[in-house]
Copies of this chain bind each other. A is one copy, B any other.
Amino acid sequence: MATEAPATGGTRRDRTRRVTLADVARAAGVSASTASLAVNGAGPVAPATRERVLSAARSLGYSGPNPLARSLRRGRCGVVAVVLGERLAYAFSDPMMVGMLDGLADEVGTAGSSLLLVPLSGPTGAAERLAALPMDAAVVDDCDAATVDLIPALHARGVVVVGVDGPQGSGIPVVDLDDEAATTALFAHLADLGHTRFGVITLPLALDTVGGPLVPADPATRERLAKGAGVQRRRTLAAEEAAARHGVSVRFVEAARNLVDEGERAAATLLDGPLPESPLPGCPRPAGDARPTAIIAQSDVLALGCLRAAGTRGLRVPEDLSVAGFDGVDLHLFDGTTLTTIEQPASEKGRTAARLVAAALSGQQPDDVRLTTRLRVGTTTGPAPGR
């Protein structure tokens, strides 16, 4: 039976037409619908018929249902997008992010889906790129105000959107951490050790920031905090509050990026003063420009940079300076050093996000999930000097 080349509507890029289910059906002498049932192993098909179809498929070199056509028909394509604010190199330089993605990919994979990486950093309009890509759902990693604006368009397309670490209150289910409690625990730990001069290295408040000292009282700071991602806001506000409660002073420096080098740079700012002093109301002002004796970094990556800065200056950790991080990732420190940090279930965060996606795709309206962290005391924090 001749397979005459059908007059095609559009332009054909390649001269050889791909084998379709219709071809297989024709070769097997059955209807397309029967061929579909046979190929998919669905529905009732006489064994003989099935065999005929399958062997036709084999001999024609049929490569299975076209994913695009099938997806269009079914309304699902097995793709979950991950919307990243950064280039891959930056996002993936954070083991926390990698852990999250790993959990996400794994759990999403059990549902038969795969991850599509969509960095918003490119030159092209983020919105257009996102709109043109096939996806059933999108996971946005805690994002700034600009990224939040993309959500309505996705919803309009029927794309499920789930947030990781934020944004809260944007009408999407979110999985996040007890950042406030974690920050509070870090302050308590260090205050108990007698520290009264704190430094905090915050994560970048926006994607395009240059970092630098952060003056809490400055309205610009408040606004940037408000528009920034939730993690930064929650951890920073909690730090202000904890410092006030413990009656200690605290200086904030924003890192330009979540990179070791930037952590080092921010630490330098804290350690090499002078800095604008910004004691909170009711806090005793430390004498002179005395450097902080305890630095809390909002990520382990930044904390690592802080350790380097200390080393460069001949400061012993923790004798001269206590350093704490946030995340609990394995940083391969040498010499038996272990970072005091907040352990967060990075992979579980990803898995949970995947579950939220699955629930939403099946028509439910899942609630937010808050995961709990725990303080891990390592060797980088100790009594304040002179105690």
Report which A residues bind B (CB closer than 8 A): 10, 13-14, 18-19, 61, 63-75, 77-79, 81, 87-89, 92-93, 95, 98-99, 101-102, 105-106, 109-110, 112, 114-119, 122-124, 129, 131-135, 153, 156-158, 260, 304, 307-308, 311, 332-335, 347, 363
Contact = CB atoms under 8 A, between A and B. Distances in A.
A115 B114 contact: no
Contact of A131 (B63, B72, B347): B63
Given A13-B363, A67-B135, A68-B77, 18 more contacts: A63-B153, A64-B132, A66-B72, A66-B157, A67-B132, A67-B133, A68-B71, A79-B133, A89-B347, A93-B95, A93-B98, A110-B122, A112-B129, A114-B116, A114-B129, A117-B117, A304-B332, A311-B334
Contact of A13 (B18, B75, B311): B75
Contacts of A153: 63
A208 B133 CA distance: 34
A73 B10 contact: yes
Nearest to A84: B105
Given A311-B334, A334-B308, A116 B118 contact: no
A70 B73 CA distance: 13
A89 B78 contact: no
Contact of A114 (B14, B109, B118, B123): B118
Q: Which 10 A-B pairs have the closest CB atoms?
A: A89-B102, A63-B156, A88-B102, A68-B72, A92-B98, A63-B157, A67-B134, A109-B122, A115-B117, A88-B105
Contacts of A19: 156
Contacts of A114: 81, 116-118, 129, 133
A64 B159 CA distance: 13
A172 to B, nearest CB: 17
Contact of A106 (B10, B18, B87, B95): B87
A61 B156 contact: yes
How many copies of the polypeptide does the oligomer hold? 2
A92 B101 contact: yes
A10 B106 CA distance: 31
Contacts of A117: 105, 114-117
A68 B117 CA distance: 17
A79 B116 contact: yes
Contacts of A87: 102, 105-106
B133 A119 contact: no
Contacts of A109: 119, 122, 124, 129
26 contacts: A10-B74, A10-B75, A63-B131, A64-B131, A64-B157, A65-B132, A67-B131, A67-B135, A68-B72, A72-B72, A78-B132, A78-B133, A87-B105, A87-B106, A88-B105, A88-B106, A92-B101, A106-B122, A109-B129, A110-B123, A114-B117, A114-B129, A134-B134, A304-B332, A334-B334, A334-B335
A129 B67 CA distance: 11
A9 B118 CA distance: 33
Contact of A115 (B13, B68, B116): B116
Contacts of A74: 10
